[in-house]
Amino acid sequence: MKTHTLPSLKTLIVVWGLLMLATIGTMFAGKVSDVTSVGPLWMGLLLVVTYIKATLILGYYLDLKSATGGWNKGFNTLVAIILIAIYGLYFFGA
Amino acid sequence: MATETEQDGPQEDWGPLSGLSGNPIMWVLIASELVVFGAIFISFGFARLSEPQVFAEAQDHLNRLAGAINTMVLLTSGLFAALAVHFQSRDDTLKTRLAIAAAIALGAVFLGVKFVEYADKFEQGISTETNTFFMFYYLATAFHAMHVVFGMVLLVIVGWKNSFENVVTGTAFWHMVDLIWVILFPLIYLMR
């Protein structure tokens, strides 16, 4: 029988705090209150922050950090592929 | 970061899927959903390439602040879902159910904000047929909202039948809904 180590209460709250900060970072990089184009540099930063948020959700909320067999890397890679494709399409259209 | 509580994993042998928490079938669903939404997001990127001006003008009609607030609402509901697993691992049924109730309530807030956004668009005469951007906007956000509704139903069920595996499995779906929105928000609301 396998055992899974769950994140502690403190860890879950710290992760939530980081996600909130990252969301504020996303609003800043995405120029929420502005109508001008974000631009390739800020768009890249925006997607990096998005990737960090996704890895936090996958690793701690979905508890993939304690999963065996490379599942954490696998799901992170899938998200990275989606975000890189989005950025590539944005970059060529910019 | 620190970890604390240990729990028994699934007793059946699911091969490589046994290394995941909760019911392995949920992980098949989560991976499938990520691929489906990923395909929608990449299609959006391709469509934007052919009509950049239309997409830029249409996106200015969106309420970006509402989208950001909804991101925070959904991430906070995700915290409560994760707390439900934490409490259930300690057999604290009352706290588990309270955490699940809070996650559901925040899911309802998310849908309320979404409803206000849709009502505003309809008042402006904006529908799926307005242009390609809004076709994708409604497709992606409404499909996601349907997942929120399904996730809320699932949370009610696992709050009622609250074995550890049920709670882990139900909340895993909810975190997947969070994850999709975390990618959808910058793509649809902010990329310009």
- Name the residue with higher pLDDT: A42 or B10: A42
Closest CA to B81 of B31, B145, B155: B155
Chain A residue with the nearest C-alpha to that of B37: A82
Chain A positions in Cβ-Cβ contact with residue B45 (cut-off 8 Å): 85-86, 88-90, 93
Closest CA to A86 of B42, B141, B53, B192: B42
Q: What pLDDT shows up at residue A2?
A: 46
Cβ within 8 Å, pair A37-B192: yes
Buried b / exposed e over A42-66, threshold 16 CB at 10 Å, is: ebbbbbebbbbbbbbbbbbbbbbbb
Q: What does each C-alpha distance from A33 to A13, B72, B141 come to in angstroms? A: 28, 17, 21
pLDDT tens-digit map of A7-32: 899 999 999 999 999 999 888 777 76
Closest CA to B100 of B167, B47, B40, B36: B167
Q: Is B177 within 8 Å of B151 (Cβ atoms)?
A: yes
Cβ within 8 Å, pair A19-B52: no
Query: CB count, 10 Å around CB of B46?
Result: 11
Query: Alpha-carbon distance A89 to B141, whole Å?
Result: 20
Cβ within 8 Å, pair B78-A78: no
Cβ within 8 Å, pair B45-A89: yes
pLDDT tens-digit map of B5-23: 555 555 567 777 777 887 8
Query: Domain ranges in chain B?
Result: 23-190
- Give contacts of A 25-84 with B, CB under 8 A: 26-27, 29-33, 35, 37-38, 43, 46-47, 50, 53-54, 57-58, 60-69, 71, 75, 78-79, 81-83
Q: What pLDDT shows up at residue B5?
A: 54
Structure tokens, B168 = 């882990």
Q: Residue B66 in 3-state DSSP?
A: helix
CATH number for region B23-190 = 1.20.120.80
Angle CA A65–A67–A72, to nearest 5: 60
pTM: 0.91
ipTM: 0.91
Say which of B1, B38, B75 has its CB closest to residue A19.
Answer: B75
Chain B positions in Cβ-Cβ contact with residue A38 (cut-off 8 Å): 190-192
- Name the residue with higher pLDDT: B191 or B180: B180
pLDDT tens-digit map of B128-172: 889 999 999 999 999 999 999 999 999 999 999 999 999 999 999
